[in-house]
A and B are shown apart, each in its own frame.
Chain A
Amino acid sequence: MSIELDSPRSVATASGRLSQRALTTRQAIADRLFRISLVAATLVFVAIIGGLFVELVQGSWDSIVAFGPAFLWSSEWNPVTNHFGALPFIFGTVVSSAIAIAVAGVVGISAAVFLAEFAPRAVARPISFLIELLAAVPSVVFGLWGLFVLAPILGHVADPFLQRYFGFLPIFSGTIYGIGLLTAGLLLALMIVPTVAAIARDLILAVPNELREASISLGATRWETATRVVLPSARAGILGACVLALGRALGETIAVTMVIGNRPAISASLFAPAYTLSSVIANEFTEATSSLYLSALLELGLILFIISVAVNGIARLMMWSMLRAQGRRP
């Protein structure tokens, strides 16, 4: 790249003295270098996303050619006959993550409202610290806890209870194993709830106090103020926090693998074992003997990638329209 520099003489002219380019040679070079390095650092992200996508498409090309779009709705996963379909994994990923975000959203936002609006500081501080600590626990530790604590509790207590009183619903029917879709979803919820709670709490605290006072001065109770003024004001950001958490749930591998049962089947029952996109990749990658098998696993990765990007894109659109409805510039 050629760098144009002003000769020091141009400083002498009247317009040159005031023009932005009336800098010393050293300043001008430093300025350029600084700008170039910032642009380069930013472009790294574009390159990573683009590279990932290209690599995934390339790696899964054999599978894309062999199965076509039917890969998406085929339920067969047979390495022996080399027939592969993604539906059970898409199902497992989507359902477990949906359970996770539904539970974590409700619990996380409720906790955030309590901590930010109602809890005395002596309570809010230590609990907020614990929540942030929970977010730092490694996945595999959650997985172990899920397998040895959560799964038995669900299998012996909670699941039979649900089946006894709500067994007429297909989602609570069938054999109880302890491990399965519901266990994985709840474990995921536990893993992502700190993200939701911590970010939502910060966002609620960031809502200007003037709005609370406006609401209180109109004869609103604290509860009405929290639900009708404070939460709506923070909702675009809270939606963003939920998407961030959902992204972690969609991609979470090791903890889910330990409690979901790893069976590529689609069942109406949440008690049944299932399988997720990330779990099957992790479990079977080393055993993928044929190139088509490997390619099919990579295509699962591609699907996961696209789901994550789509979720983020939709959330971005929703946030944008919310902010626009408030008359703010996004």
Chain B
Amino acid sequence: MQTTIVTAKTVSTSTDIALSARSVSAWYGAKQAIRGVSLDFIKNSITAIMGPSGCGKTTFLRCLNRIHESALTARTSGEVLLDGVNIYDPEVNPVVTRRRIGMVFQRPNPFPTMSILENVIAGPRYTGMTKDPRELREIAEDALRRAAVYDEVADKLNSPALALSGGQQQRLCIARALALQPDVLLMDEPTSALDPLSTLKIEELMERLAADVTVIIVTHNLQQAARISHYTGFMLGDENRVGSVVEFGPTERIFTHPKDSRTEDYITGRFG
């Protein structure tokens, strides 16, 4: 497979940064899950966040579109800047924010009562993007093409979404997120429930998506992080299972010359 590792860019010019987390901490009730996570996500790149189970990588991802706070007793502090605007600002509506930061989940979760087509246009319908059925269909077809699933579903757009295979369902969910034309796409271990072939398809798809979307993927699969990402962040939980970032940098460097011994231990399989 072709590897497209971006050489280390300076992470200072703000125009290059799509999303920026500034000392983000998150809690579930009294239990702190992550502490002071600060990361910059470069526009139109793929950033992988890896780490062992329970290191808070998923919690961190869920803070980036404010879906973390939809859980009972969940709480966040810190800032997340989208185009320089803090999405945790009291004036910012989380509902509107989530339209610009899409999310794909660990297990495919198409809406069971909707057809394939209805699933893809659920977002545009919520946001009132358009009401014209022809336009909605065009949006749907475009999103399905971008998610590399169109050819497989073109002749059954009105079939129930659950009739698709797991891999197709996950690509449908990607299409559903893309239909809103988000700037950022968050992916929470999107292939962990899928077979190797479906995984490969989604990885290829992500590389194409990075042409115009900033992709942030959480994965516990080292090979996946190495294969597809331009940047990698390594998170680890401390003795109280509070996660924080150990190391962040261009993927090639993280995997060849890790600066932190814990990163090295992790990528050489000594723990995790």
Contact = CB atoms under 8 A, between A and B. Distances in A.
B96 interface: yes
Contact of A121 (B70, B72, B127, B163): B72
Contact of B160 (A211, A216, A235, A326): A326
Interface in A150-200: none
B59 to A, nearest CB: 13
Contacts of A219: 95-96, 98-99, 123, 126-127, 180
Contacts of A216: 67, 70, 98
Given A213-B109, A232-B113, A326 B162 contact: yes
B174 to A, nearest CB: 12
Given A216-B70, A218-B122, A219-B98, A327 B111 contact: no
Interface in A284-330: 325-328
Given A232-B113, A327-B159, A215 B122 contact: yes
Interface in A31-72: none
Interface in B16-66: 65
A217 B67 contact: yes
Interface in B107-160: 107, 109-114, 122-123, 126-127, 159-160
Chain B interface: which size bin? 20 to 34
B161 A327 contact: yes
Interface in B96-110: 96, 98-99, 102-103, 105, 107, 109-110
A220 B111 contact: no
Contacts of B126: 215, 218-220, 224, 228
A4 interface: no
Contact of B173 (A214, A221, A229, A233): A214
Contacts, number: 80
B105 A214 contact: yes
Contact of B109 (A121, A214, A220): A214
B191 to A, nearest CB: 16
A208 interface: yes
Contacts of A326: 112-113, 160, 162
A325 B160 contact: yes
Task: Give the secondary structure class of A's interface.
Answer: helix
A330 to B, nearest CB: 13
Contacts of A212: 70
B177 A218 contact: yes
A217 B98 contact: yes
B112 A328 contact: yes
B180 A327 contact: no
B176 interface: yes
Nearest to B109: A210
Contacts of A217: 65, 67, 98, 102-103, 105, 177
Nearest to A323: B112
B115 to A, nearest CB: 9
Contacts of B122: 215, 218, 220, 228
B72 A218 contact: no
Contact of A211 (B102, B103, B111, B176): B111
Nearest to B96: A219
Contacts of A220: 95, 122, 126
A328 B159 CA distance: 12
Contacts of B160: 325-327
A293 B127 CA distance: 65
Contacts of B162: 326-328
B111 A213 contact: no
B44 to A, nearest CB: 21
A196 B176 CA distance: 34
Nearest to A231: B113
Interface string B226-264: 000000000000000000000000000000000000000
5 contacts: A216-B70, A217-B65, A218-B98, A228-B126, A233-B111
6 smallest A-B Cβ distances: which pairs? A327-B160, A219-B99, A217-B103, A218-B123, A232-B113, A210-B109
Interface of B: 65, 67, 70, 72, 95-96, 98-99, 102-103, 105, 107, 109-114, 122-123, 126-127, 159-163, 173, 176-177, 180
Given A217-B102, A218-B99, A326-B113, 6 more contacts: A211-B111, A214-B173, A219-B126, A219-B127, A224-B126, A325-B160
